[in-house]
Structure 1
Amino acid sequence: MRVPRGGSHSAIFLAAGITGLLSLLPLLFVLYVAVTSGWDTIADLVLRPKVAALLLNTAALLLLVLPLSATLAVACAWLIERTDLPLARLWSWLMVAPLALPAFVHSYAWSAFAPRFHGLGAAVLVSILAYLPFVYLPVAAQLRRLDPALEETAQSMGKAPLAVFFRIVLPQLRLAILGGGLLIGLHLLAEYGLFVLTRFDTFATVIVDQFQSVYNGPSANLLGGVLVLLCLGLLGLETGLRGDERYARVGTGAARQRRRVMLGRWKWPALALLTAFALLSLAVPILTLSRWLIAGGAEIWRLDFILPALGQTATLAFAGAALTTLAALPMAWLTVRAPSRMQKLLEAAHSYVGALPGVIIALALVTVTVNVALPLYQTIATLLFAYALMFLPRALVGLRTSIAQAPVELERAALSLGRKPVSAIWHTTVRLAAPGALASAALVGLGITTELTATLMLAPNGTRTLAMRFWSYTSELDFAAAAPYALLMIVLSIPLVVLLHAKADRADQA
């Protein structure tokens, strides 16, 4: 049901409009750089061998990581969800657990474990280990929801199991595979720390290095424009491959237990595959981290450094999560209560920033503050604003779902009892959506806790978060001193893994 247009609608629309306009700053930055630089400057700085090498590196990374991640994720999800594999529940948790380790912590562990292991091979391996859960989670959830009758019908017609999988099951996993692959691809374009430690140049690493050597230099800005084009190309490719086929069945079907495939003699190779992934993605980082913690002893637990870093990280995470959730609230309400063409445009403005690397948002804010609002350059306000832009889509998705579950009749009842419109929404819908809002805020806060690139570029002098302290020590190859900060980031990230796994289970039950 639609909420009647009125004061509350206009005020919320205005708030969402302001947030949407502010979200366009990174896109305007790219256009500004292109217009002000001129073709000659663009040609000199972009059309050169270094950029061509970066394009080749990026293409090689995407062409290797995405297919390998998708293949491995589908294989592991099918083994866990569809076969009689022992301890399936445990393996499911172990497949998601690598998300508790930030990508640059994975790279830190492998750099310490195998110092000579670097280049494209190291970048591909660490990327798969760090990001494969992004494909595994949606694929596993989709496998649990598929109607078994489709496969049983195909089998009754004489189709071999392999043919059933490729012709019936795999096409229905396409959306999950493409969605997870898109997330991995965007992370690959945005990641900085992982590729620096594996000594593999990407656009993000070169942009940050140039920014740190020449603040707001034209080369870094133009490379940022190229990176945005790559992100948009990746989004367009995913949209084209997704197509418009219908995947929903007609009718509710019959709830029944699916028969699991008996692995027989293939049980041991299956266990070997899952064990290898768990060892490479979890055992190596944990053992490496433990080794450095033991080797460093009590001396590396510098509480005079650790406690301020922990306090600054918690403060930024709490403030950033609160700001981002409040900024997303008007748009989430409009999406559920007042859908329209304008609402869809505003929602797109809120959502597209999630596809942009943090380095682009940071470069945009540096340009704006240096040229328009210099007092805001390298301030906490600018850093929090960057966090809000980066994690706005993450908050919007959770809030939208929570508000949709709150009955609109309660808002109308509050209005009929004399409540002002905003007060009626706040005391009914917002209160009912509070658990979902807290979960969204937790996801945003955990993302801020491990954010590195934008924090390095925008943090005020004297700011030292856990990620910044960790990066400072690893840059000096002092892996022992970096270990406590890695451990604290992992501990703070564990709730994210639990939350994601629980949400996947709830989605399956629903």
Structure 2
Amino acid sequence: MLPGAGPGVRATDRRPPWVLIVPACVAALFALLPLGYLAVRALERGPGYAWDVVADERTLQLVGRSLGLALTVVAACLVLGVSLAWLTVRTALPGARAWSVLATLPLAVPSYVAAFTWLSAAPRTAGFAGAALALTLVSFPYVQLPVAAALRGIDPAQEEAARSLGHGPLSTFWRITLPQLRPAAAGGGLLVALYVLSDFGAVSLMRYDTFTWAIHTSYRASFDRTPAAALSVVLVVMTVALVAAEGRTRGRAGHARTGTGSARPIAAVPLGRWRIPALAWCSAVTAVAVAFPLGTLGYWLAVGTSATRDLGGLAETAWATLGVAAAGAALTTLLALPVGVIAARHRGRGARLLEQAAYAGHALPGITVALALVFFAVRYAYPLYQQLPLLICAYAVLFLPVAVAATRAAVLQAPPVLEDVARSLGRRPLRVLRDVTVPLAAPGVAAGAALTFVVCMKELPATLLLRPTGMDTLATRLWTETGAGSFAAAAPYAAALILLAAVPSYLLGRHRT
């Protein structure tokens, strides 16, 4: 066996301890709450009426349009994410650390801001092309970050052994490196697909008819919630199918070292004549994903006559945004921890069902999750109605998969033999989780919390419906001003949102380098 290289880490058939099962089931039931609302609403006028909505020709068109957009964006994000991760981690790219940090900054750009900037500069991009472009440029870090982390965690001795046997760099990448990157790339691609299916801002601005826009239109156009609920059920079915497909793609094996791995640092692959094209590629991606939206907002701030100068109101709104996003990220990470550990360390139908349940709410439009929580609060917990905890719960339902995916990937990278040693010394499951599993996975869990914080800051539909009376976030103020046609007045809120979200994105990029 190669030095420091152990066998693939496989999930075990051992039953998870109750200290994980109970909170994981609570998290799963929490994420499934909107589905209960959908079941009540979809069947409110009988299954026949709901089936007529689902079987309608327009519904089938929405399936094709939504899946087509998701697959296009995922394919583009895989190309961007894997190529940037490889260039910044494994090659002698000049300024690799800086390029790696810059590649995370698009996480700070909301999809509706990206769509607005492209529409204002090139109105003809409206439609499928514009929606795909905007969503790709804000989503590819979901692939780049986990793939870059996986590249740093892979034992380089295996690649060196392949080269010593006569395999070239390309052959080594395809035969040795890429199979080990498959879980990270598949997990990132799944997050991108779910993000696209649940996006409302970009597709609405680009006027591209998908499930989210159709559901939103149905809710706003009629008091009859059955058609919108039936469409949401179709969206949930699509989500479950994608999660199942991703599970088959990544397989059951993980890739963790059982020792310290190679004592030598990873040898950077020389780029040679490809150095200039590589730099041009990184520059082009950074220009269109970061510099272009910032430049467009700068233009509106400089020349717009309707731009507001209420710095006190802007600061108050920014502070409210930071507080609610931090609370949402904390609750989401806490709920994701037991689910992620079970998904990484155990196999079986129960573990798969818990993980799939956690992903259920992510593909639901924010308006559906918001109305489900309003329905629950009014009937069973009225004191929570129009209160901040309800909005925080909505964030947890919507973004639980972000934290679960990060936790699962982090636990897969941690050697399970250390947990076995702790158990053999008589440590109870809670002690093993607290003293071994969590500390080993802490960097990945923290990265997931940072990602969750960023997406909570950018969330729009649920925030519009659930925010307490008198409270605004940067996203809601931006949407209000944009809807009124006051683009220059919206620019300060868009710029503040991007700048605030850029801080955790920047720190996340530095942590990963």
Both structures adopt the same fold (TM-score exceeding 0.5): yes
Task: Choose 1 or 2 for highest CA Rg.
Answer: 1
CA contact (8 A) 1:23 1:349 kept: no
Do the aligned partners of residues 311 and 213 (structure 1) sit closer, same or farther apart at CA in structure 2, a change above 3 Å counting?
farther
Q: Does 1:301 align with 2:305?
A: no
Q: Secondary structure at the residue paired with 2:61?
A: helix
**Bigger relative contact order, structure 1 or 2, given CA contacts below 8 A and separation 6+?**
2
Q: Does 1:41 align with 2:55?
A: no
Q: Does 1:242 align with 2:250?
A: yes
CA contact (8 A) 1:334 1:343 kept: no
Give the CA deviation at 1:72.
2.5
Q: Secondary structure at the residue paired with 1:477?
A: coil
Q: Deviations over 1:15-57 (max 9, x none)?
A: 7766654443123223334443433212332222321221111
Q: Does 1:217 align with 2:225?
A: yes
Q: Does 1:98 align with 2:106?
A: yes
Q: Deviations over 1:100-120 (max 9, x none)?
A: 222222222212222221111
CA contact (8 A) 1:216 1:367 kept: no
Do the aligned partners of residues 484 and 267 (structure 1) sit closer, same or farther apart at CA in structure 2, a change above 3 Å counting?
same
CA contact (8 A) 2:304 2:488 kept: yes
Q: Which of 65, 70, 77 is equivalent to 1:69?
A: 77
What is the letter of the counterpart of residue 76 of structure 2? L
Q: Secondary structure at the residue paired with 1:257?
A: coil
Do the aligned partners of residues 397 and 54 (structure 1) sit closer, same or farther apart at CA in structure 2, a change above 3 Å counting?
closer
CA contact (8 A) 1:321 1:445 kept: yes
- Corresponding position of 1:80: 88
- Corresponding position of 2:40: 32
Q: For 2:136 and 2:213, locate their aligned partners in 1 and report how far apart those are by CA, in whole Å.
A: 19
Q: Does 1:262 align with 2:266?
A: no
Q: How does 1:270-285 map to 2 (within 5 A)?
A: 270-285=278-293
Q: Which of 456, 476, 484 is equivalent to 2:464?
A: 456
Q: Which of 102, 119, 130 is equivalent to 2:127?
A: 119
Give the CA deviation at 1:200.
1.3
What is the letter of the counterpart of residue 95 of structure 1? A
Q: Does 1:351 align with 2:358?
A: yes
TM-align CA RMSD: 4.3
Q: For 2:235 and 2:496, locate their aligned partners in 1 and report how far apart those are by CA, in whole Å.
A: 31
Q: How does 1:279-428 map to 2 (within 5 A)?
A: 279-296=287-304, 299-303=307-311, 305-321=313-329, 348=355, 351-353=358-360, 355-357=362-364, 358-369=366-377, 377-392=385-400
Q: Which of 110, 126, 133 is equivalent to 2:141?
A: 133
Give the CA deviation at 1:397.
8.0
CA contact (8 A) 2:42 2:229 kept: no
What is the letter of the counterpart of residue 509 of structure 2? H
- Corresponding position of 2:493: 485
What is the letter of the counterpart of residue 317 of structure 1? A
- Corresponding position of 1:473: 481
What is the letter of the counterpart of residue 188 of structure 2? G
Do the aligned partners of residues 395 and 250 (structure 1) sit closer, same or farther apart at CA in structure 2, a change above 3 Å counting?
closer
Q: Deviations over 1:213-245 (max 9, x none)?
A: 335621111111111111111101101112234
Q: For 2:92 and 2:112, locate their aligned partners in 1 and report how far apart those are by CA, in whole Å.
A: 35
Gaps of 5+ in 1: 1-8, 414-421, 506-510
Gaps of 5+ in 2: 1-16
Q: For 2:117 and 2:109, locate their aligned partners in 1 and report how far apart those are by CA, in whole Å.
A: 10
Q: For 1:351 and 1:122, locate their aligned partners in 2 and report how far apart those are by CA, in whole Å.
A: 30
Q: Does 1:187 align with 2:191?
A: no
Q: Does 1:110 align with 2:118?
A: yes
Q: Deviations over 1:343-396 (max 9, x none)?
A: 969964883456443344223224434565667554444323323433456667
Q: For 1:408 and 1:124, locate their aligned partners in 2 and report how far apart those are by CA, in whole Å.
A: 48
Q: For 1:428 and 1:152, locate their aligned partners in 2 and report how far apart those are by CA, in whole Å.
A: 34
What is the letter of the counterpart of residue 486 of structure 1? A
Q: For 1:464 and 1:34, locate their aligned partners in 2 and report how far apart those are by CA, in whole Å.
A: 32
Q: Secondary structure at the residue paired with 1:99?
A: helix
Q: For 2:348 and 2:181, locate their aligned partners in 1 and report how far apart those are by CA, in whole Å.
A: 30
- Corresponding position of 2:7: none
Do the aligned partners of residues 495 and 30 (structure 1) sit closer, same or farther apart at CA in structure 2, a change above 3 Å counting?
same
Q: TM-score, normalised by structure 1?
A: 0.80
Q: For 1:273 and 1:247, locate their aligned partners in 2 and report how far apart those are by CA, in whole Å.
A: 30
Give the CA deviation at 1:164.
2.4
- Corresponding position of 1:154: 162
Q: For 2:73 and 2:46, locate their aligned partners in 1 and report how far apart those are by CA, in whole Å.
A: 35
Identity %: 38
Q: Does 1:233 align with 2:241?
A: yes
CA contact (8 A) 1:359 1:454 kept: yes
What is the letter of the counterpart of residue 180 of structure 1? G
CA contact (8 A) 1:350 1:393 kept: no
- Corresponding position of 1:201: 209
What is the letter of the counterpart of residue 45 of structure 1? V
Q: For 1:396 and 1:269, locate their aligned partners in 2 and report how far apart those are by CA, in whole Å.
A: 36
Do the aligned partners of residues 81 and 444 (structure 1) sit closer, same or farther apart at CA in structure 2, a change above 3 Å counting?
closer
Q: For 2:321 and 2:476, locate their aligned partners in 1 and report how far apart those are by CA, in whole Å.
A: 10
